[in-house]
């Protein structure tokens, strides 16, 4: 972990429950992603989601508490509950966006938007937390590209941009 992250983690532990810090973190993260959402005018799910995911990663990249909160390793049960609620809000929002754009999407017949969103959000959070916990985190824009690639693959049912074979009437997984 970076020195800044270690200092933040030690500070977090000394502050007690930390629920206010976790709520503030998620409030600011939610505001940053809301500002990046171009809405339905984006022309499709991929362009819209890329902007939102990119804003999400850019925001957490600069947050010292992000690795701790995103990994779900807080010792306080109220902080862990806040983290679960935040992940549920992110998953619900992504599932709603997938459903909004679903008719225009390729290969989404029979695929539950919530199932795709659960996988995408879990991957986004886990990969970002892992990257930011490293002694030298990757450059911000590199992490944005890596996370977007994973989210895109999870939602579109592709392996890093290569379509999976799909049996008609059945999801690829």
Tell me if 129 sits within 8 A of 80, measured CB to CB: no
pTM: 0.79
Tell me if 61 sits within 8 A of 143, measured CB to CB: yes
- Does residue 102 form part of some domain? yes
Could you read off the pLDDT of 68-112 as tens digits, one per residue?
888 877 788 899 899 999 999 999 999 999 888 765 555 555 678
Q: Say yes or no to pLDDT of 165 above 80.
A: no
- Does residue 171 form part of some domain? no
Residue 43 CB neighbours (<10 A): 11
Count of the separate structural domains present in the chain: 1
- Does residue 173 form part of some domain? no
pLDDT (average), residues 123-148: 96
Full domain range(s) for residue 102: 3-11+20-163
- Does residue 112 form part of some domain? yes
Q: What does the angle CA 73 – CA 94 – CA 8 come to, to the nearest 5 degrees?
A: 30
- Does residue 168 form part of some domain? no
- In whole angstroms, how far apart are CA 169 and each of 38, 77, 93, 108, 147? 32, 42, 26, 10, 29
- Does residue 172 form part of some domain? no
Q: What is the CATH number of the domain that holds 159?
A: 1.10.357
Mean pLDDT of the chain: 81
Could you read off the pLDDT of 13-51 as tens digits, one per residue?
444 338 899 999 999 999 999 999 998 777 788 899 999
- Does residue 99 form part of some domain? yes
Residue among 161, 138, 41, 22 nearest 85 (CA): 22
């Amino acid at each position: 972990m970076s020195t800044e992250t270690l200092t933040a983690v030690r500070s977090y532990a000394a502050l007690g429950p930390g629920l206010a810090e976790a709520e503030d973190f998620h409030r600011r993260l939610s505001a940053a992603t809301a500002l990046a959402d171009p809405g339905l005018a984006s022309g499709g799910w991929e362009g819209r989601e890329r902007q939102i995911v990119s804003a999400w990663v850019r925001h957490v990249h600069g947050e010292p508490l992000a690795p701790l909160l995103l990994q779900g390793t807080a010792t306080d049960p109220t902080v862990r509950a806040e983290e679960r609620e935040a992940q549920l809000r992110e998953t619900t929002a992504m599932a709603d966006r997938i459903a909004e754009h679903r008719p225009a999407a390729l290969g989404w017949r029979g695929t539950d938007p919530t199932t795709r969103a659960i996988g995408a959000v879990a991957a986004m959070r886990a990969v970002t937390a892992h990257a930011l916990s490293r002694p030298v985190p990757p450059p911000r824009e590199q992490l944005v590209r890596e996370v977007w690639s994973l989210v895109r693959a999870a939602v579109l049912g592709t392996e890093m941009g290569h379509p999976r074979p799909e049996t008609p009437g059945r999801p690829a997984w």
